[in-house]
Structure 1
Amino acid sequence: MDVFNLVYAASCVYALVRGGTPERIGALILSADFQLSHWVIAPFVSRYASVEWAMMSVDLSACLALYTMSLFTARYWPMWMTAIQGIVVLSHLAGARIDVIPWAYGNAVALWAYVLLALLAAATRRHRRRLARYGIDPAWRWQLPPAYRMGGPANERDAPRH
């Protein structure tokens, strides 16, 4: 088993087992992205010789899914993952240049996956820490207390006394 598959499996299983709903959805989005990318990639002989349009569309779909989730979740990490996935999508345009070495194009697209997986694992860890510290961790914006949405503290004990 190579290093990527080990990191991929560990991060996604950790998020699926210990994460909240956004972390689980993030793990499913990344899993779908990685699996579909593996299925649509060009044969090895012509891999990354030009723009991998099918893989770019899979990556764009993952980017849009992460973006949609970031609109509704109370977490910040989906915005970061959306930005990184956007870099992956734009990296595919490197294949349009004739002078780009296929190996460099492939690495520009693939190496960001490690960052995404590390971010997912860190997000899951932070979720667990918030649960241990506060007992709750609202996943979606509508689950946040009204006072917090208006700029106040997240719980009543932190509210200033008048």
Structure 2
Amino acid sequence: MSLQIILALLFDVTLLLTCGYAALKGGRPERVGAAINLIASVVTTALRLMDASYFAPAETITLLIDLAVAGGFYWLGVTTIRFWPVWAAGFAVADLFMSIFGALLPRVPLFAYHTGLGIYAYLALGALSLGTFRLPANAEPYIRNGSRRLWVQHLKETT
């Protein structure tokens, strides 16, 4: 079994464990973050299995998926009271830069390029895991929901 297959399987297991943990133990922002990660990973993997050209740096559809992931985490970061989506958005933006620079520097080996992308993907999953872990099991409903509107509404009611 090649190193690339082992790394891909390791990522898939980590992705499923992290997203499952976020879906079961997290609040609304964690479930949305898990969905963003899962959907982007499944769509990207399906594209790459259908056509090997999607492995290339800055391939248009893959770049659009990465842009959607960065936008999704950005949206999550500005609409929730959680801090982990800001980190995940930052890692997604770094992933975008890695893809663009991979296309601009054609002598970079594909293995190095994909390893760099994998590092940022693991860091985004780590942010999701840490955010889920830090959410108390007995959190109030407005905390579990994570909405800034509900949080502001709760502050107005308590003062």
What's the TM-score once normalised by structure 1's chain length?
0.79
* Aligned with 2:31 (options 8, 24, 30): 24
1:73 aligns with 2:80: yes
1:111 aligns with 2:119: yes
Q: Gaps spanning 5+ residues in structure 1: where?
A: 150-154, 157-162
Deviations 1:106-152 (A, max 9, x none): 1111221111112111111111x2x44x6452511111256858xxx
Q: Gaps spanning 5+ residues in structure 2: where?
A: 1-5
Contact 1:48 1:103 in 2 (8 A): no
Q: Which amino acid aligns with 1:110?
A: G
Give 1 or 2 for the bigger CA radius of gyration: 1
Alpha-carbon separation, structure 2, partners of 1:31 and 1:67: 17
Alpha-carbon separation, structure 1, partners of 2:99 and 2:153: 42
Q: Identity rate of aligned residues, in percent?
A: 22
1:13 aligns with 2:20: yes
CA apart distance, 1:53: 2.4
* Aligned with 2:59 (options 40, 52, 58): 52
Q: CA RMSD in A?
A: 2.4
Distance verdict in 2 for CA 1:142–1:59, change over 3 Å? same
* Aligned with 1:125 (options 123, 130, 133): 133
Aligned residues: 147
Aligned to 1:152: none
